[in-house]
């Protein structure tokens, strides 16, 4: 029997990895965008200029410097490729780590059968998590969740062995992740801090554990590492009451869609699913105080994670658009684990098992509905690249979200399109450094060294809400273009003698 288990376990792990890989690739190529070019562009500069490239790059406040970059850079180096394949692989690794970590976490206080259901629930997360939840995205909270999941797993081991060393390891992972993405705080780090209180109540836990977590929490709040690397600080602002009400309503739907258990996709099913999970959460809160110390601690981690991310979303979210689902990416593993804890030695275990099985069936079914949430297909970038090649265009400026920096990435730097800000006076602003670009790209010396034949790509978006206004302002400042070209929704103004911005 043991020999059979030794054989089947690796097979199951490999098959699960392949399933995650298949789903990631399926959604990855349907939503390739400018964000994906992040680490490949920095890696090229890093290889050429060393650590100084990290200071030259202007990252977003959630920088991924310490969590994602090391993994991606290592894969780029090993594979000698900074294209799509290593990015897909790193994305798959993060999801796989979450599945394994929560399997270990759940199995440490329940049994292998329940842990396996949790594992399957993460492997077959619903489509909404792969798309709007950004699970297939190389730079998203899902990668941060991998560090949090490992921290939870180590915390459970520490609770069993009362090991300060293991707590220190969990804290180190938390520090790496929170220095890259503050989302870790409500989703994982604060639950680790408050969870220690449950163990302290028993009198057998030293204060060293909670002290270590508190040091990491304070260092994360003070943004110690981001300040060293000149990274913009993530500011937390409490929204107004009206926005909180909007956020609360959005949260109900997001949780209902994410944890849908009724196969069909409709608001009624989502609200009903939310109600089911709310009842389970309330019962979990009631039950946690009746568990053994270690199980109480582990259960408190996942319950506090669910409460932490939900409450923080209500209090600080300012987004009124699709994409908020990515903030709830930790819901799936935590909800599955919570259900598993309630299944274990509980008279209502059949109800909890039924909920988990319904969720798993609904999640798998969601991948067959044929609906995609982003229509910018991968081949669009190839078409645009061919268009630029036909017109001998290798250097220009454009909108970040409309075929700019990802063209630089996918052509290996052969075509450089620098993302720029809009300008109410001149149409675009080249001097102001946009996040996710190199500061040196915007300097006078860099612009003077650029090829003479240049273009500006105007498209309706954040830079140009009105393309006609942008082009008119730009011509007023820089004169009439040598050529005007059109590609789908993008208008290109070509200047054969270069552009002077300084």
Query: Is residue 384 over pLDDT 80?
Result: yes
What does the pLDDT read at residue 10?
86
Query: Is residue 77 over pLDDT 90?
Result: yes
More confident residue, 211 or 319: 211
442-474 per-position pLDDT tens digit: 998 998 899 999 999 999 888 888 999 999 999
pLDDT band at 436 (very low <50, low <70, confident <90, very high): very high
pLDDT band at 346 (very low <50, low <70, confident <90, very high): confident
Token pair in block for residue 410: 């996918």
Q: Report helix, strand or coil for 127.
A: helix
423, 117, 108: which is closest to 292 by C-alpha? 108
What is the average pLDDT across 170-195?
Answer: 96
Query: Is residue 319 over pLDDT 80?
Result: no
What is the average pLDDT across 94-98?
Answer: 98
Q: Which residues of 163-200 are buried (b: 16+ CB within 10 A; e: fewer)?
A: eeebbbbbbebbbbbbbbbbbbbbbbbbbbbbbbebbe
pLDDT band at 347 (very low <50, low <70, confident <90, very high): confident
> What are the backbone dihedrals phi and psi of residue 152, each rounded to the nearest 5 degrees, phi first?
-60, -45
What does the pLDDT read at residue 249?
93
CA gyration radius, the chain: 25
pLDDT band at 372 (very low <50, low <70, confident <90, very high): low
Residue 479: DSSP 8-state: -
What is the average pLDDT across 381-397?
Answer: 93
What does the pLDDT read at residue 371?
58
Query: Is residue 303 over pLDDT 90?
Result: yes
Strand 395-398 with 416-419, pairing: parallel
Predicted TM-score (pTM) of the model is 0.93
């Amino acid at each position: 029997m043991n020999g059979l288990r030794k054989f089947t376990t690796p097979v199951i792990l490999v098959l699960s990895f392949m399933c995650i890989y298949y789903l990631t690739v399926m959604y990855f190529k349907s939503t390739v965008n400018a964000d994906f070019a992040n680490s490949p562009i920095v890696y090229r500069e890093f290889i050429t200029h060393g650590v100084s490239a990290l200071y030259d790059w202007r990252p977003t406040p959630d920088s991924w410097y310490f969590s994602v970059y090391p993994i991606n850079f290592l894969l780029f180096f090993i594979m000698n490729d900074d294209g799509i394949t290593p990015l897909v692989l790193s994305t798959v690794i993060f999801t796989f780590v979450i599945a394994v970590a929560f399997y270990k976490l759940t199995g440490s206080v329940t049994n292998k059968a329940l842990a396996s259901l949790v594992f399957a629930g993460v492997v077959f997360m619903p489509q909404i998590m792969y798309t709007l939840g950004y699970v297939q995205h190389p730079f998203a909270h899902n990668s941060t969740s991998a560090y949090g999941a490992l921290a939870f797993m180590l915390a459970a081991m520490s609770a069993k062995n009362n090991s300060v060393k293991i707590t220190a390891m969990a804290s180190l992972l938390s520090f790496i992740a929170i220095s890259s993405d503050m989302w870790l705080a409500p989703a994982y780090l604060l639950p680790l801090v408050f969870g220690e209180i449950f163990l302290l109540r028993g009198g057998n836990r030293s204060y060293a554990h909670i002290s270590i977590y508190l040091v990491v929490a304070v260092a994360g709040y003070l943004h110690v590492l981001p300040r060293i690397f000149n990274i913009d600080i993530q500011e937390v602002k409490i929204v107004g009451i009206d926005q909180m009400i909007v956020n609360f309503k959005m949260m109900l739907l997001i949780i209902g869609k994410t944890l849908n258990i009724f196969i069909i996709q409709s608001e009624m099913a989502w609200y009903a699913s939310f109600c089911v999970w709310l009842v389970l959460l309330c019962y979990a809160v009631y039950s946690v105080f009746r568990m053994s110390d270690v199980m109480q601690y582990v259960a408190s981690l996942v319950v506090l994670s669910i409460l932490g991310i939900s409450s923080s979303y209500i209090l600080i979210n300012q987004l009124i658009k699709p994409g908020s689902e990515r903030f709830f990416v930790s819901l799936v593993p935590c909800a599955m684990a919570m259900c598993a804890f309630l299944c274990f030695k509980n008279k209502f275990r059949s109800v909890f098992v039924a909920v988990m099985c319904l969720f798993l069936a609904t999640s798998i079914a969601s991948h067959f509905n044929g609906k995609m949430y982003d229509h910018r297909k991968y081949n669009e970038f190839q078409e645009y690249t061919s268009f630029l090649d036909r017109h001998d265009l290798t250097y220009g400026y454009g909108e970040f979200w409309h075929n700019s920096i990802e063209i630089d990435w996918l052509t290996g730097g052969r075509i450089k399109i620098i993302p720029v800000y809009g300008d109410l006076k001149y149409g675009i602003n080249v001097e102001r450094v946009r996040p996710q670009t190199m500061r040196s790209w915007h300097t006078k010396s860099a612009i003077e060294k650029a090829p003479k034949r240049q273009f500006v790509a105007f498209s309706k978006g954040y830079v140009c809400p009105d393309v006609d206004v942008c082009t008119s302002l730009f011509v007023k400042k820089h004169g009439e273009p040598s050529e005007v070209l059109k590609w789908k929704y993008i208008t290109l103004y070509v200047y054969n003698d270069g552009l002077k911005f300084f």
